[in-house]
Each structure stands twice: as C-alpha cells, then as structure tokens.
C-alpha cells in the first residue's frame, strides 16, 4: 500500500461486531480487532452506517455452512475512504462511498472491500439511506430486469412488498412502467399506496390467488407455501423469480413458465445507478429502525422476526464507539 494514500496510523485497533461460534443473539460480541489495511484493488472505508440484512442473522446461525471463524458480520455500509490499496485509481482518500462487502466485515469501524463493490455517494444522500440501499436495491433491480426481464406494461406480483427488497422492487417496477400488485400486512398497505402500487393485497385477509390472475412476473421474497401458491397466478410463458428458495423445475414445466432462484451480484455501475435514482428523488429509501453498533444483536433479532418495513440500520459513532453500550 502506498502510504501517501492513507490517513490511518500503521497500527492500532477498531471496534467490530463478531461471532466466534454460530448461534443466537448471545453469539455476537463487540470487541477490538487489529487495524485493517486494504489489499490490491481494495479501498478501506471508515464506516458511518451499516445496513442489516437477513443474511446477517443467517450467517450468525450458521445457515450458510461452516464459514471461517471468528467472523465480523455485516455487508451493506456507507462511509468515507481512508486508505487505498495498490492499483486503485478511481477513488480517493476522503471520498464518501457506499457499497457491500460480500465477505462481511461492515459491522465495524473499518471495512476493506473490492472497488467493484463500491460506488461514490452523492452529497444529497445521507449515510443511513446509503447503508440501507446496496443489497436490497440491487437484488430488486437484478431480479426484475435481468432475471425476469420485466417489460413496460407487464404485470408483476411482488410478495412481501413492504420489506427491504420489496419496497425497492415496487418503486423500480413502477418507474419502468410495469403494473404492480403488492402483498403485505394491513399496516403496510398505506405505505405501498403512497408509492403508487396499482393493486394491494393484505396477505393476512385475502388469498392472493383468489384475486390475481395472468401475471407476467412473480417476485417471490417469501418462499414456502407462498411460492407454491404462486404458480397458478402466472400466465403461460410467465416468470417466477425467488430470492429465498429454488423453485421446482417440474412445477415450472407443468405450468409452462420459467422459474429460477437468483443470487445478487455487486456491480459498481448498478450501485451508481441506484444512488443516482435516490439522489434524483426517483426512488425512496425507507428505514424503520436506526440503532447504534453496540445494539447489533437487537437489530438482527428484529430482522429475524420479520415484519420490518424497509430496513434496519446500525450507526457507528467514531467519537464514542469505544464507550460501553448503554
């Protein structure tokens, strides 16, 4: 690393939320870890805010297999570049950025990430909004337009439309001229109405398949029984895309539709596009809860229990992050 491209000391420690074993809320601990340095084609970011995703508590529980431990959790972040790895020319120290770390590490004061997973943050977007955006916005974008190939005028049914991915999906689908049918709980229907959803269904009061027919795309953010009931609402040649479970190829063939489970790819150009849309007021970021880093365990439990409208975000106060958590 070129020492001219850093504002950090050579040694020291930072605070990070880590797990040393898989388990429940008790597995998380806030502890000191050695100061990071960026590798080739990486930037080191001082994290101001970190978004919470379901993948965070799934990692904590060991649902993704025997990952190396100890491990710092967290993927989405917003902050300021404090050091550049070798080969980095598109960013500068002091630049505001947001992005996603596929290998975790964002629930900390510093995170090192490849430049391919980072984008400049516009001044009009605050750190909380930016940290709530990367994984959910790109999941919605790629599911709708790259996997499902949603077109202007087509009908899309979005399950769990008031969640982190769902709210972005509703707005993006409307922005690009689709007819949006959204399922959610009754408390979230007014929010979806304000966003402009064309049809809203209280999933606790109405079975969606009784009122929805011949849709072009189903975006399944729930899985299980909801996915099973979705086959019958698709028109011939329709597409079912799930972010949570692999659809049955046999059922897809019987129904004459295409179906797939998608895996989000971090792409800097798409992160930039999402940031531009937010900065221009074309889409809104919705955050239901903001908590300090030391309450990460509480944040993950809120996410695990579901029913969160939009996102949960952790903030990192670098002036007080070494103090005991209240």
- Give, for all 326 residues of the chain, the pLDDT tens digit: 444 466 676 678 999 999 999 999 999 999 999 999 999 999 999 999 999 999 999 999 999 988 999 999 999 999 999 999 999 999 999 999 999 999 999 999 999 999 999 999 999 999 999 999 999 999 999 999 999 999 999 999 999 999 999 999 999 999 999 999 999 999 999 999 999 999 999 999 999 999 999 999 999 999 999 999 999 999 999 999 999 999 999 999 999 999 999 999 999 999 999 999 999 999 999 999 999 999 999 999 999 998 788 999 999 987 654 444 54
Quick one: angle between helices 54-61 and 296-305, nearest 10?
Answer: 100
Q: How many other CB atoms sit within 10 Å of the CB of residue 253?
A: 11
User: What is the DSSP annotation of 254-297?
Assistant: HHT-EEEE------HHHHHHHHHHHHTTSS---EEEEEEGGGHH
Q: What's residue 320's pLDDT? A: 52
Q: Which residues pair with residue 84 across a beta bridge?
A: 43
Quick one: angle between helices 268-279 and 134-141, nearest 10?
Answer: 100
User: What is the DSSP annotation of 183-206?
Assistant: EE-GGGHHHHHHHT-SEEEETTTS
CA separation for the pair 68, 59 (Å, rounded): 11
Assess contact for 15 and 320: CB atoms under 8 A: no
> Who's near 280: CB < 8 A, 6+ residues apart?
none
CA separation for the pair 265, 167 (Å, rounded): 19
Quick one: angle between helices 134-141 and 164-175, nearest 10?
Answer: 50
Assess contact for 85 and 43: CB atoms under 8 A: yes
Phi, psi (rounded to 5 degrees) for 253: -65, -45
Domains (ranges, CATH) in the chain?
Answer: 3-133+285-315 (3.90.180.10), 136-261 (3.40.50.720)
Q: What's residue 5's pLDDT? A: 64
Closest by CA position to 267, among listed 88, 145, 142: 142
Burial classification of residue 102, based on how many CB atoms lie within 10 Å of its CB (0-12 exposed, 13-18 middle, 19 or more buried): middle
């Amino acid at each position: 690393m070129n020492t001219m491209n850093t504002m950090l000391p050579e040694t020291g420690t930072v605070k990070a939320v880590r797990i040393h074993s898989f388990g429940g809320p008790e597995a998380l601990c806030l502890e000191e870890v050695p100061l990071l340095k960026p590798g080739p084609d990486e930037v080191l970011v001082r994290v101001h805010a970190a978004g919470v995703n379901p993948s965070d508590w799934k990692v904590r529980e060991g649902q993704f297999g025997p990952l190396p431990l100890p491990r710092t959790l967290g993927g989405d972040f917003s902050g300021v570049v404090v050091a550049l790895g070798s080969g980095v020319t598109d960013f500068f120290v002091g630049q505001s950025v947001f992005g996603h770390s596929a290998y975790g590490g964002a629930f900390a004061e510093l995170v090192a990430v490849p430049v391919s997973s980072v984008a400049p943050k516009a001044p009009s977007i605050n750190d909380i909004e930016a940290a709530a955006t990367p994984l959910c916005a790109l999941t919605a974008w790629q599911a709708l337009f790259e996997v499902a190939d949603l077109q202007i005028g087509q009908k899309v049914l979005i399950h769990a439309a008031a969640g982190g991915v769902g709210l972005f999906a509703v707005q993006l689908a409307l922005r690009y001229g689709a007819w949006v049918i959204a399922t959610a709980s009754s408390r979230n229907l007014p929010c979806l109405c304000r966003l402009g959803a064309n049809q809203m269904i209280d999933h606790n009061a109405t079975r969606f398949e009784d009122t929805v027919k011949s849709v072009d795309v189903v975006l399944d953010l729930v899985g299980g029984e909801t996915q099973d009931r979705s086959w019958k609402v698709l028109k011939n040649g329709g597409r079912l895309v799930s972010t949570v479970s692999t659809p049955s190829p046999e059922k897809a063939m019987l129904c004459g539709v295409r179906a797939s489970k998608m895996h989000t790819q971090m792409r800097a150009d798409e992160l930039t596009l999402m940031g531009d849309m937010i900065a221009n007021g074309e889409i809104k970021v919705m955050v239901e809860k903001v908590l300090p880093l030391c309450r990460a365990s509480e944040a993950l439990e809120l996410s695990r229990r579901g029913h969160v409208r939009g996102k949960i975000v952790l903030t990192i106060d670098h002036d007080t992050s070494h103090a005991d958590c209240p």
